[in-house]
Structures are given as structure tokens and as C-alpha cells.
Chains A and B, each alone.
Chain A
């Protein structure tokens, strides 16, 4: 557990610049970078002119909602928890917005209420998990079903569209340069998330709790409060993603965002975040987001169906946990053998 490949290696002052880079490359992030370059190469050979900034931006835009939720999911999984209900909160927020607007409410107000609904959903999850102490898998699995059911109950089998022009423009047109609003929101959120998780005291607490809940509590970390805040954030961000998705698609149905949890969790785990909590970084998650977006795009170029792509993402999800497990097991057995063979260098007297 201690020498996890995804923990960034501390660079001591004695190291040369290149050995620091080499150590980075040997880590999980380095592996991801190699995979990413390979995918770039394959896709470029499939479609000439593939590797442009414009295309990469386009890929982000087409999955921006999943990518945004992956940020809060990273916090939760590092914390040792999970939020399976995030895509359902996304769907619920989109449906609430659309239904209120259809009911004649001012659109801006409807969006605010939808975000509020996301907060309430997050608080509901957080209450059962942080306060009552139930298993987060069971709680968010049941709210995954319940929030989705609520979204369906609100819009039934209708498709609600005809949003105001400014909203559709915001979702579909570029705001600054080649970037639409959703992408700008993502980049701002990513920078903020990196600062909070990697450089702030709160971020340290998230890691500490993920490593050992008991140790964290005994050293005075307010475990329940941290968890509750994370679920609140997850609810709010998922709702924001729902509103953005509604703006991008221009219409809302009850099953909007159904099944997103597969891609989101894969993005986080492939990024080197341990499902057992306590390790992983947002840098790795960013690389794995790029990998998944480009893999999906490449499979699309090779004219493989969406269902086939989903299956491949499923394989990736399992491999991203199985790979490190096997690697650690192999290393442990090699170490054991080495210990058995060689007598200790400094015999203890």
C-alpha cells in the first residue's frame, strides 16, 4: 500500500532535472502518457489531421458533463467513498430546469432551483453516509435509482425543449475564442480542484481520511464534516453538469445522462486513483480523461458502435484496477523471493 505507483515522487535537491523527469515517467502518470501518445498515433493514422487543438476541444465539449463530474468523483474516491448517484442528480437537475420552465417560471430562476435541488440531493446522500454512517455504495446505489426515478416522474415520457435563445447560445456557441462556456467552467474548476486537493489543508484531510478513517479521527480531523462537504459538492457539481447538458442538447428527457457512471468512474480509476482510497492525483485523472475521450473518438473513427465502445470502457475500468493489483502482487512476490535468497546486508545484533 505504501509505495503506490501513483504517489508523486518527492524530488530532492540533489537530483538532476532529467532523473526527476525519468522518475515521473516511471510512475503511473508516465504509463498513461505513453498510452495517450500511442492512441494519438493510431488515431492520426486513421484520420489525417486528427491531432489538432480544435479536435481536442471538440472532444472535451462532447463529454464535458462527464469530465466535470469526474473532478468531484476524484475527491470522493480518494476519500474512500463513491457517488454512484451523480449521473442521476445530473438527470434530475436537467429535468427540474426543463419542467419548471415549461410550467412558466423564469428560466434563470429555474436553473437556480435546479442547482439547489442538486445540493439537496447531495445533502441527502451526505446525511446517510456521513451522519448515520451507512455504506456509501448502498446509499448512492439506492439514490441512483431514486433520483433517476424522480427525474422520470417529473417529465414522464415527454421531451422538453424550446429553451430561451440565450441559454442555447451559451451551451452551443463559443464564448471566448474557441471555448464555449462549459469548457471554461471546466478549466476554472480543474484549477480550483487542483489547488484544493493538492495544495490545501482540506485536500490533505481528504487524503488522510482515505488512508485511514480511524487515524484521521484520532488526529482531530472532522471526518464527518469533510465527507458531508464532499457529497454536497458532488451534488452541486452534478446539477451544474445537468444544466450544462440541457443547454448543449437543447432538449431534456427523463433518461438524460443515463449510464454516465461507467465513464466517470473509469476516468477516475484509470487516472491512478486507488479504489481503496488515499492515493491518486488530479494530474493522472486529467491524462486518463484525455485517454478515454480519444479512445472513444478513435473507435468512432473506426466505425465501431456506441455499445461496443461502452463495452471497451467496461474492460478499461476493470483493467485499471486489476493492472495495479497484479503489478503489486508480482512485486511483492519478487521482493519476498529476494529476501529469502539474500542474507540481510546489515545483520541486526
Chain B
């Protein structure tokens, strides 16, 4: 037991559990569905996961500060539309410009959220329910309900989803996937190594202590929302790159998908734990489940949202009940290792 305790932390065990579950799922569906697991399937999953995964990275930062960002779907939808429209009007603009426009819009939207939550002290759930509606109505009014289709877009943007950077056998590493992986790696490194990342964890674990210790808590929360907005903008760019068509409904429900990914990936809204890699694995898990269930044809696609909602709930419940106990075991073992002489280590209980 002690070697186990010293080698792994509970968070890592949880991620290993998630990966094992995914492997089991793939094995199960491979048996059930003939010709299920092949290179084409891997390629399809790696393309369909990108939008939600990038949103989940931003959502992770916001979650670490004990907040929600429900407006990411609307931000992504608006950005996708705006970028598409600009590329339609200015066919000679470069891809870099498109990405910069997307990031810019995302940053503006995210900083509105950030100012309201961090400095206006409006709870994030209220702020982002409000801005979810505001950004969406902005999109509808701005677009005059004129959809953007692949015919209007420059060629490079239409072809973006099939650009292959690297080929391993039949498995393709596509450009969109590479962008997403880049985002995941960068933000994982930021959270692990930069002071900014460590402070986010500190604020989430104990907001009062972080404030007393002199952390600029308001600025951190503001930055978390700003980055979440920027990544939602980037996700909007990936959205138009992947689908090529944007209507006023673009991105509806993505906020729920990103929250589901984050929660299933083990990021906690109640106490500064979780990783970006976890959120990515959560997004991958949901995508795998969705793609597999509907190919299985035992479940109609109308059940999708029901399954999504229940998964979030059970992931949270499981974390709270099982994972909370696990953490207690670890804390106790840690205490025993550090102070062998103490007979009854006091461990703060998680149960209210």
C-alpha cells in the first residue's frame, strides 16, 4: 500500500481509470460492431474531438478558480460566423489573420465575462447565463440570419479539415488535431510550471488563504475567463475549419459538452484539482462514446443529451464519494509516513 501511495497520486489513478475505461469501450464495441476499429475511425475521432477539446482546456482554467463559463458555445458560434464572413469578404487574407481575428474576438468576449465576475463580483453562473444569451442574440442580429456556406469561403479554409501533416500508416495527423494537441500541451505546461498555473490551483483549493497570502485573486480569475474566451474564439475558428457551414445556431450546446468533458476528466469545481490532459481525455471519452453508441444502433441519437447529463452527474458524484475517500486514505498514509509517532492522525473529513 505504501509503495502504491508513494508512486501514484489519486488524480493519476483516476486518469488511468478513465483510460482503462476507454480501452474497454473500444474492445467491447470492436466485438459488437464488425469493422469498428480501424484507421478511418481513429481519423474521424481525432477530427471530431478538436472543438470540444479546445473549449475544455479553457473551461479547465475557469473551473480551477471555482467558476463556470457557460458562454463558450455562444462565443465560439459568434467567432465562427465573424471569421467566416471576413474571409468571405477578404479572400486574400492569410490564415494567420483569421486566427488572430478569432483570438481577438474571443479575448474581448472573455474579458467582459472576466470583468463582471472578478471585479463586479457577479457569480459566474449568472454572468455567463447572461452573456450566453447576449452573445447569441448579437450573432443573430449581426448575421441577419444569413448562413455562411462552403461556397463563400476561400479554398484554404474549406480544405483545412483535410490537411494532413503526418502520416503513420493509414492514421493521419491532421492540422486541426495538431493545433488542438498544441493547445493542450501548452496549457498543461503552463499549469504545471508557471507561477500563473500554480496560483490558479491555490485559488481553487482555498480562495481565502490565497487572498490572505497576497495572491492577486481577482486578476487571476479575470485572466482565467480571458483565456477561456480566447480559446473559445480559437474553437470558433476550428469550428468553421471543420464544418465549413455556419448558421446562427452554431455552437449551441458546446458549453455543456465542454463542461461534461472537464468534469468527466476529473477537474473539480470545488477545490483546485484537475489537469488539462484530464480534460482532453474527458473530451476524447465523450466523443468516443457518442461515436460508438450511435454506430451501435442500440441507442438512438435522441438519447445523446440524456447520457451526457447523467455522465456529468455520476462523474461528480463518483468524485465526491469515492475519490474523496481515496484522498483521505492518501492524506492519512502521508501523515503516517511523515509522523510515525503520532497515533491518531487527524484528517479533515470531506463529508459535511
Chain A residues packing against B (C-beta within 8 Å): 82, 128, 132-135, 137-139, 141-150, 152-153, 156-157, 254, 259, 261-262, 265, 269, 275-276, 305, 307-311, 313-315, 317-318, 321-322, 325-326
A315 to chain B, nearest CB (A): 6
Indicate if the CB atoms of A307 and B120 lie closer than 8 Å: no
Closest Cβ neighbor of A125 among chain B residues: B313
Stretch at the interface among B134-142, B155-163, B338-346: B134-142
Our pick among B138, B305, B321, B351 for the contact of A146 (Cβ within 8 Å) is B305
Count how many chain B residues have C-beta atoms less than 8 Å from C-beta atoms of the other chain: 44
A149–B309 touching, CB < 8 Å: yes
Q: When A315-B134, A317-B130 are in contact, do A146 and B310 touch as well, CB less than 8 Å? A: yes
A261 touches B129 (CB 8 A): yes
Could you tell me the dominant secondary structure of chain A's interface residues? helix
A275 to B141, CA, bound (A): 30
Q: Beyond A137-B269, A318-B131: 14 further Cβ-contacts under 8 Å?
A: A133-B351, A138-B269, A138-B312, A141-B68, A141-B259, A143-B313, A144-B309, A146-B313, A149-B307, A153-B300, A262-B133, A311-B137, A315-B134, A318-B116
Q: Is the CB of A311 within 8 A of B306?
A: no
Cβ-neighbour of B125 out of A82, A146, A156, A307 (below 8 A) = A82
Closest to A223 in B: B352
Can you identify 5 A-B contacts, CB atoms within 8 angstroms? A134-B320, A138-B313, A139-B313, A149-B302, A315-B134
> Are the CB atoms of A150 and B306 closer together than 8 Å?
yes
In the complex, the answer to whether A310 meets B133 with C-beta atoms within 8 Å is: yes
Contacts of B269 in A (CB 8 A): 135, 137-138
A133 CA to B259 CA in the complex, in Å? 20
Whether the pair A139, B138 counts as a contact (CB closer than 8 A) is: no
Docked CA distance A311–B135 (Å) = 8
With A152-B305, A308-B137 given, is the CB distance from A314 to B129 under 8 Å? yes
The reply to whether B130 and A315 contact each other, CB–CB distance below 8 Å, is yes
Q: Quick one: CB contact mask for B108-136 with A, threshold 8 Å, 1 for yes?
A: 00000000100011110111011111101
Contacts of A313 in B (CB 8 A): 133
Question: Are A318 and B122 interface neighbours, CB within 8 A?
Answer: yes
Whole-angstrom distance between the Cβ of A284 and the nearest chain B Cβ: 17
Instruction: Flag whether B100 is at the interface (Cβ < 8 A).
Output: no
Residues of A within 8 A of B121 (CB): 325
User: How near does chain A come to B73, taking the closest CB pair, in angstroms?
Assistant: 12
Q: How far is the CA of A137 from the CA of B351 in the complex (A)?
A: 18
Given contacts A132-B320, A262-B129, A265-B129, contact A310 B136 (CB under 8 A): yes
Alpha-carbon distance between A131 and B122 when the two chains are bound, in angstroms: 28
Is the beta-carbon distance between A149 and B304 smaller than 8 angstroms?
A: yes
A117 CB to nearest chain B CB (Å): 14
Q: Complex formed: what's the CA distance from A135 to B66 in Å?
A: 11
Q: Select which of B116, B137, B260, B352 is within 8 A of A307 by beta carbon.
A: B137
Q: Is the CB of B305 within 8 A of A149?
A: yes
B308 at the binding interface (Cβ < 8 Å)? yes
What are the 8 A-B residue pairs with the smallest beta carbon separation, nearest first?
A146-B309, A149-B305, A311-B137, A149-B306, A145-B309, A314-B133, A142-B312, A307-B140
CA distance A33 to B33 in the complex (A): 64
Smallest beta-carbon distance A128→chain B, Å: 7
- CB contacts (< 8 Å) of B141 on chain A: these are 305, 307-308, 311
Using A307-B140, A322-B120 as known contacts, say yes or no to A142 and B316 having CB atoms under 8 A apart.
Answer: yes
Among residues of B, the one whose C-beta sits closest to the C-beta of A214 is B352
A137 & B126 in contact (Cβ 8 Å cutoff): no
Complex interface: chain B residues within 8 A of A311 (CB) = 133-134, 136-138, 141
Residues of B contacting A142 in the complex (Cβ-Cβ under 8 angstroms): 260, 309-310, 312-313, 316
Q: How far is the CA of A258 from the CA of B122 in the complex (A)?
A: 24
| Cβ < 8 Å to A, chain B residues 307-352 | 307-310, 312-313, 316-317, 320-321, 351-352
Give Cα distance in the complex from A325 to B129, angstroms. 18
Taking the nearest CB of chain A, how far is it from the CB of B215, in angstroms?
A: 21
Most buried by B among A137, A308, A309, A311: A311
CB distance from B225 to the nearest CB of A (A): 14
Chain A residues with Cβ below 8 Å from B259 are 141
B309: A residues at CB distance < 8 A? 142-149
